[in-house]
Amino acid sequence: MVQMVETETSCCTIISEDVKDAVVLEGSPELGLIGNILGWLLVEELKMKQIGYIDSKKFPPLAVLYKGIAIHPFRIYSTDGIVLFLSDFIIPPTVSYDMSNAIVEWMERNNSKELITFNSMVVMEKSDSVAGAANSEDALKRLGDLELPILPFGNVNGLSGALLTRTATKDIPASCLFAEVLNQYPDPRAAASLVNVLNKMLDIDVNAEPLLKEAKDIEERLKELAKRVQNEPESPIYS
Q: How far is the CB of 156 from its own copies (least distance, A)?
A: 4
State the minimum distance, in angstroms, from the CB of residue 205 to its own copies.
26
Count CA within 13 A, CB hemisphere, residue 176. Answer: 30
Tell me the closest approach of the beta carbon of residue 206 to its own copies, in angstroms. 20
Q: Which of residues 16 and 135 has its CB atom nearest to its own copies in the complex?
A: 135
* CA distance linking residue 160 with residue 228, whole number of Å: 39
- When the beta carbons of 88 and 191 are compared against its own copies, the nearer one is 88
Of the two residues 4 and 20, which places its CB atom closer to its own copies in the complex? 4
Question: CB-wise, 90 or 204, nearer to its own copies?
Answer: 90
Nearer to its own copies, 205 or 238 (CB): 238
What's the closest the beta carbon of residue 53 comes to its own copies, in angstroms? 8
Q: Which residues bind its own copies (CB under 8 A)?
A: 56-57, 59-72, 88, 91, 93-94, 96-98, 100, 132-137, 140, 143, 150-162, 164-165, 168, 174, 176, 222-223, 226-227, 236-238
- The pairing of strands 174-181 and 130-134 is antiparallel
Smallest distance from the beta carbon of 117 to its own copies, in angstroms?
10
Strand partners, 82: 23, 79
Distances from the Cα of 148 to the Cαs of 141, 144, 163, 199, in angstroms?
A: 10, 6, 21, 13
Nearest of 6, 42, 1 to residue 23 by alpha carbon: 42
- Inter-residue contact 101 to 95 (CB < 8 Å): no
* 176: β partners: 117, 133
